[in-house]
Amino acid sequence: MLGIVGAFAAPGVALARKARKPFVLDPKYQPQLVDFAPGYAPGTVVVDPRNRFLYLVESLGVARRYGVGVGRAGLAWSGTATVGRKAKWPRWKPTANMIRRDPGKYAKYVGGMPGGRGNPLGSRALYLYRDGMDTYYRIHGTTEPWTIGRAISNGCIRMLNDHVADLYERVPVGATVVVL
């Protein structure tokens, strides 16, 4: 379907643009309770990057599953961490590695970006710490919902904003996070 964009056209000239399809999340990535048998304690967050799911263990054998976007090849992180802090509408600042990899895209944000609708961390962020130190990896919302189910991020775990807001309310600071 083509839409007309007249505001930028010369008088009497109409420019056409392709209309964007509305985003629809694959149902398998909707939050849902699932059987989960690996033996983690209730309250543990388990991320399975290969299958693009995050599990919040609810009880023995049951977890709440969310779809996620994960780090692209070479940028993924794995291991055990804790939620060191949480933030609503967090401030974002690209890491030095992000700026080094793509200065054209990230150098202009070296001073950071305040929280808000255009911020890449979305509506909520859970900051992952190891041995009391920030790992610079996050579980956070996204301004790019179509990336859920894909390996595309700079290493963080992305969720839809509504889903990360739900997780944010369920997971306390100090919770264990295991990224497989």
**Which one of 140, 148, 163, 167 is the catalytic residue?**
140
How many Å is the maximal CA-CA distance in the chain?
A: 68
Tokens 């964009």, residue located: 5
**Which one of 156, 157, 159, 171 is the catalytic residue?**
156
What pLDDT score does 94 carry?
A: 86
Residue 10: left (phi > 0), alpha (psi -120 to 50), or beta?
Answer: beta
Percentage of the chain lying above the pLDDT 70 cut:
88
The encoded tokens of residue 23 equal: 């985003």
The encoded tokens of residue 52 equal: 């693009």
Q: For residues 118 and 30, which has the higher predicted lDDT (pLDDT)?
A: 30
Determine the average pLDDT of the residues in 149-164.
93
Cα–Cα distance for residue pair 100/19, rounded to 1 Å: 35
106 three-state secondary structure: helix
Give the chain's domains with CATH numbers. 27-89+123-179 (2.40.440.10)
Per the annotation, the verdict on 156 as an active-site residue is: yes
Spatial contact of 177 and 45, defined as CB atoms under 8 Å apart:
yes
Q: What is the pLDDT of residues 49-91, one digit of tens each?
A: 999 999 999 999 999 999 999 988 767 789 999 999 999 999 9
Per the annotation, the verdict on 140 as an active-site residue is: yes
b (16+ CB within 10 A) / e for 1-34: eeeeeeeeeeeeeeeeeeeeeeeeeeeebebeee
Cα–Cα distance for residue pair 145/142, rounded to 1 Å: 6
The four Cα atoms 61, 64, 68, 73 give a dihedral, to 10 degrees, of -20
